[in-house]
Amino acid sequence: MLDALWQRRALLVSGKGGVGKTTLTAALARAAVASGRRVLVAEVEVSSDEQNGPSPLASLVGVREPGPRVTEVSPGLSFVRLSPIEGQRLFLQDVLPLKLMAEAAMRMRALRRFLEAAPALREMGVLYQMLHLIRSTRSDGGQRHPLCILDLPSTGHALALASLPDTLLSVMPGGPIGRSVREGMGLLRDPALTGALLVTLPEPLPVSETLELAAAIQRHRIPLAGGVLNRVPENPFSPDGRAAVEKLLGEHGPHQGQRALGRLDRARAAEARLAGSLPVPLFTVPELPATGIQLVERLAQYLTRPAPNAPSRAGAPS
Ligand SMILES: Nc1ncnc2c1ncn2[C@@H]1O[C@H](COP(=O)(O)OP(=O)(O)OP(=O)(O)O)[C@@H](O)[C@H]1O
Ligand SMILES: [Mg+2]
């Protein structure tokens, strides 16, 4: 089921704050590595002042010093923090005839200020560095990073990245910039190469927001790869057991158990609504009693478990 995801070159993990994007990026990467893929997990540097600041993703994959250079964490798993400045440097290097000139240009304070001031140029740097990594090959000609999983910091960021090619092309349609933007656009918009994974929680409002995000992302012609319904509570009841519990709770007045039952119902409704509205597979991921790296390991195990026969052990598209 996940194999279809691993065939792509770039997975963009997006969703509202706190829904589990970073945790799932790390877990998906581990699951892909366990299936024999080589994976680069990437995050976007928040600001150039924080080039070496803390990174939740880096800690979850076991990197101590996150930075704009690729770090190999373990066989098959690498990490990078995409940096606008690094991407812009690579861009100038490709556009200006000599590497030395590109480096000299990047040292000019005025140029740096200009590049940092325009938000589109920040995004361009990020996109360019990502493209550069995706295109990079090894000495034997093979792909250095066959699969890149990018943890996007916010839905706004996903949309900014998605709308970037149009913005840039409208300003600079020709020349080397236009050419590299077109190339980026070709990659970002090809469903065989790129896909957005939209993470959400099993409650009505987050689901509505996710459906809006899915529509916005598609309007920008970024392909969707899947929905991820995260933190789905375990349903311990058989239909008979549930009826018995409801009867008991009914007889004894309001009780905390009723809240738990309500949560289960909302999770089921969320799953049905997403499965009915998203044009892509929906993966359901359970709420697990763990945190940090331990949670990532357990989620990766869950994602790579043998194909379940019983439909109640969700994870397959509905
Ligand atoms: N399946 C899960 N079961 C239990 N806890 C989870 C699960 N997924 C995520 N969490 C917890 O939810 C919290 C938020 O997760 P995470 O930081 O990955 O979200 P995020 O979407 O990356 O947040 P942000 O938008 O702030 O970057 C963390 O404490 C994490 O441990
Ligand atoms: Mg995060």
What is the Cα Rg of the chain in Å? 22
Is residue 219 in some structural domain?
Answer: yes
Give per-residue pLDDT as tens, 121-148: 777 788 888 888 988 899 999 999 999 9
* Helix, strand or coil, per DSSP, at residue 11: strand
| Residue 217 placed within a domain | yes
Residue 317 lies in a domain: no
CA dihedral 208, 152, 146, 304 (to 10 degrees): -50
Tens-place pLDDT, residues 20-36? 999 999 999 999 999 99
Assigned domain for 316 exists? no
Q: Which residues of 239-265 are buried (b: 16+ CB within 10 A; e: fewer)?
A: eeeeeebeeebeeeeeeeeeeebeebe
pTM of the predicted model over 0.85: yes
* Domain containing residue 279: 3-304
Which bound ligand lies closest to the C-alpha atom of 55? 2
For ligand 1, atom 31, the nearest C-alpha belongs to: 291
Per-residue pLDDT tens for 163-201? 766 666 666 666 666 777 777 778 888 999 999 999 999
Instruction: Measure CA 177 to chain center.
Output: 26
Query: Closest Cα partner for 188 from 168, 206, 171?
Result: 168
List the CATH number of the domain containing 291: 3.40.50.300
Indicate the SS3 state at residue 284: strand
Q: Indicate whether 310 belongs to any domain.
A: no
In-domain check, residue 199: yes
Taking the centre of ligand 2 as the mean of its atom positions, its distance from the CA of residue 18, in whole angstroms, is 7
CA 315 / ligand 1 centre spacing (Å): 18
User: Which pLDDT band, with edges at 50, 70 and 90, does 38 fall under?
Assistant: very high
Number of domains in the chain: 1
Q: Whose CA is nearest to atom 25 of ligand 1?
A: 17
Which ligand is in closest contact with the Cα of 296?
Answer: 1
Q: For residue 97, what pLDDT is reported?
A: 66
Q: What is the mean pLDDT of residues 88-92?
A: 80
Local confidence band at 64 (pLDDT 50, 70, 90 cut-offs): confident
Under the banding of pLDDT at 50, 70 and 90, the label for residue 235 is confident
Question: Which residues' Cβ are closer than 6 Å to ligand 1?
Answer: 17-23, 56, 230-231, 285, 287-288, 291, 295, 299
What whole-number percentage of the chain has pLDDT above 70? Answer: 81
Instruction: Give the position, in ligand 1's atom list, of the atom nearest the Cα of 288.
Output: 3
Q: pLDDT: is 227 or 98 the higher one?
A: 227
Q: Which of 14, 19, 22, 23 to mutate to test the pocket of ligand 1 (most atoms within 8 A of CB)?
A: 23
- pLDDT value at residue 179: 74
pLDDT score, position 117: 63
Q: Please report which confidence band the pLDDT of residue 115 belongs to, taking 50, 70 and 90 as the band edges.
A: low
Let me know if residue 69 belongs to a domain. Answer: yes
Indicate whether 318 belongs to any domain.
no
What is the rounded average pLDDT of the residues 44-51?
A: 66
